[in-house]
């Protein structure tokens, strides 16, 4: 039947485009793995207090991201999806290093990516790293924990103004509530132990 033949030809074109897209995505796999490895190394060194090493790995991750962007522009010019995850990874590493150095959250304008959702997701991922820093420093630097609590509480409060649909961003936002609560509980323990005064606040 002519109709069946036309349908088969149409599906053949779909299959060819589908196979081509898979091949194109495979070409992005290597730079993506390189970027993820570098961001994890950066976070690892930032957590360990080796900020120079963290900065070096972050720079390598940024270069890997730029190579990935270029490849995506060539192979996947109309689909931004493949860049979403690496953008998140880059933001997480960047935010973790800046917090380790300066005890503040990075702004959207400071981020190394041009993707609002990836910025928010990466920043939310970084809150877990910031919580771990705060817990590790709680005994010798209780003010560090208080500042972390205040910054993450600020982020949580601001995100309540967003209309977040169900999905990854909403899940990470919901998880932030428990991160803030954990830091509040630790601050209360420090208060009970006499490590901080009842009216003590984190200095700006």
Question: What would the pLDDT profile of 62-121 be if each residue is shown by its tens digit?
Answer: 998 988 888 776 655 444 456 778 899 999 999 999 999 999 999 999 988 888 888 999
Check which CATH number belongs to the domain holding 82 and give it: 1.20.58.2140
> Is 197 domain-assigned?
no
CA–CA gap between residue 99 and residue 1 (Å, rounded): 67
> Is 204 domain-assigned?
no
Question: What would the pLDDT profile of 171-200 be if each residue is shown by its tens digit?
Answer: 999 999 999 999 999 888 877 776 665 555
Predicted TM-score (pTM) of this structure: 0.79
Question: What would the pLDDT profile of 21-35 be if each residue is shown by its tens digit?
Answer: 666 666 777 778 888
> Is 180 domain-assigned?
yes
For the segment 116-138, the average pLDDT, to the nearest whole number, is 93
> Is 203 domain-assigned?
no
Contacts with 46 (C-beta within 8 Å, 6 or more apart), sequence order: 54, 93, 96, 97, 100, 129
- Residues 92 and 43: beta-carbon distance below 8 Å: yes
> Is 122 domain-assigned?
yes
Domain housing 156: 2-192
> Is 117 domain-assigned?
yes
The number of folded domains in the chain is 1
């Amino acid at each position: 039947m002519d109709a069946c033949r036309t349908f088969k030809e149409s599906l053949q074109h779909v299959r060819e485009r589908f196979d081509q897209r898979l091949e194109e995505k495979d070409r992005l796999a290597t730079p993506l793995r390189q970027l993820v490895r570098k961001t994890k190394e950066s976070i690892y060194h930032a957590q360990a207090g080796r900020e120079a090493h963290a900065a070096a790995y972050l720079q390598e991750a940024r270069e890997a991201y730029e190579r990935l962007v270029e490849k995506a522009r060539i192979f996947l010019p109309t689909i931004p999806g493949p860049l979403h995850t690496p953008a998140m990874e880059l933001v997480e590493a960047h935010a973790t290093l800046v917090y380790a150095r300066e005890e503040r959250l990075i702004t959207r304008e400071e981020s190394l990516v041009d993707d609002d959702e990836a910025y928010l997701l990466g920043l939310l991922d970084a809150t877990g790293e910031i919580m771990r820093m705060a817990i590790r420093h709680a005994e010798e630097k209780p003010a560090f924990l208080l500042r972390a609590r205040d910054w993450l509480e600020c982020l949580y409060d601001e995100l309540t103004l967003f209309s977040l649909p169900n999905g990854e961003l909403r899940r990470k936002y919901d998880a932030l509530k428990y991160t803030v609560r954990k830091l509040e509980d630790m601050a209360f323990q420090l208060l009970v132990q006499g490590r901080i005064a009842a009216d003590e606040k984190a200095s700006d």
